[in-house]
Amino acid sequence: MVSIGKILNIAIYGSLIFILSSCVHVREATYLDVYQGEPIVFEEMLGSLPKARIIYLGETHTLKRHHRFQLRVIQALYEKHISLAIGLEMLPFTCQGYLDAWGRGELEKKEFLCLIDWEGNWGFDFDLYEPLFEFAREQGIPLRALNAPPALVKKVARNGLSGLTNEEKGMLSPIIPSSDAHRNYLKLSLSRHKILKGEAEQYAYEAQDVWDSTMAHSVVEYLKSDGGKNKTMVVLAGSGHLAYGYGIPEKVTQVLDLPYRILYPSESGDTEFQEEWEKYVEPFEVTHEDLLFLKKPIADFIFLVPLR
């Protein structure tokens, strides 16, 4: 049985509540340059990335091909001798010491997963992420935990920022409210959630701001630090935190205006609505007309595969 807290946690990501299926047959990848409106080869897309200090790589957490795409981009950047750091939505900043120990080779997988409480802090299959964690350790690429502690965000989702204690508020990074355009974009999905009405909807926006502001703050603080000032940071996060430059990119730019690129991996139809979620969310489709208020493209580049 899935708890209400878990449902809130998933809903506030600004994405639909779906159980996602993996590819069962090979579909050839296509890379789209959104600004040129043309498909390009991987190497051409890669050529634009060294011009950025921050590279945002989206994902749908359960799609294996998204994680393979992320790893391929990181490996290609490393081969170009770009000094990298990898920022992770998957872990709260309280896990940074364990990430450092993993990078130094001091922890084996089982102990590492226990210490970072992977199941409690993230919960998605670690096998999807393990090749990237291993590659970072082998090549000495710093891994940075970006997120807020999940319990803190869940409490905001239930009771709002005003429901936090002074001690809990002291754990928060500076909160940067979402722009009106971002709020309108979030409303497209949040308004379909049956449990997110009235105050609950407002609390969902506040929790989203805590998520995105904390991750943006973590990115900024690292890139301003002695260890990060000469690094290019690759940020791995759910696509809902990056789309249209909202979420993390928008909040980072308000504090530290650095060139960035967004790489958005499309779901390409690899989603399946499950009946068990019907008491929480109504199935819906966002149309082209629904998005006409947006003034910028969803990303710089899109990774997609043909529909099934």
Contact yes or no for 219/87 (Cβ under 8 A): yes
User: For position 279, what pLDDT does the model report?
Assistant: 62
Cα–Cα distances (Å) from 188 to 14, 194, 201, 207, in that order, read 9, 13, 12, 16
User: For position 195, what pLDDT does the model report?
Assistant: 65
What's the rounded mean pLDDT across residues 89-109?
98
Reported confidence tier of residue 19, pLDDT bands at 50, 70, 90 = very low
Q: pLDDT tens across 261-281, in order?
A: 999 999 998 876 556 656 666
User: For position 226, what pLDDT does the model report?
Assistant: 97
86/286: higher pLDDT? 86
**What is the total residue count of the chain?**
308
Q: Is 292 exposed, middle or buried (CB count within 10 Å of its CB: 0-12, 13-18, 19+)?
A: exposed
Instruction: With a cut of 70, say whether residue 158 has pLDDT above it.
Output: yes
Q: What is the pTM of this model?
A: 0.88
**Per-residue burial over 32-54, b = 16 or more CB atoms within 10 Å of its CB, e = otherwise:** beeeeeeebebeebbebbeebbb
Q: Is 281 exposed, middle or buried (CB count within 10 Å of its CB: 0-12, 13-18, 19+)?
A: buried
User: For position 23, what pLDDT does the model report?
Assistant: 40
| Mean pLDDT lowest among 66-80, 95-109, 186-200 | 186-200
Q: Which CATH architecture has domain 4-11+52-267+274-295?
A: 3-Layer(aba) Sandwich (3.40)
User: For position 174, what pLDDT does the model report?
Assistant: 95
Instruction: With a cut of 70, say whether residue 243 has pLDDT above it.
Output: yes
CA angle, 18 as apex, 14 and 21 as ends, to 5°? 130
- How confident is the prediction for the chain on average, in pLDDT? 89
**C-alpha to C-alpha distance for 215 and 235, rounded to whole angstroms:** 9
Strand-pairing partners, residue 265, are 303
Q: Comparing C-alpha atoms, which of 116, 102, 291, 278 is closest to residue 186? A: 291
Reported confidence tier of residue 15, pLDDT bands at 50, 70, 90 = very low
Q: pLDDT tens across 169-196, in order?
A: 999 999 999 999 999 998 887 766 656 6
Reported confidence tier of residue 200, pLDDT bands at 50, 70, 90 = confident
User: For position 27, what pLDDT does the model report?
Assistant: 80
Under DSSP, is residue 183 helix (H, G, I), strand (E, B) or coil? helix
Instruction: With a cut of 50, say whether residue 5 has pLDDT above it.
Output: no
| Mean pLDDT lowest among 12-26, 238-252, 270-284 | 12-26
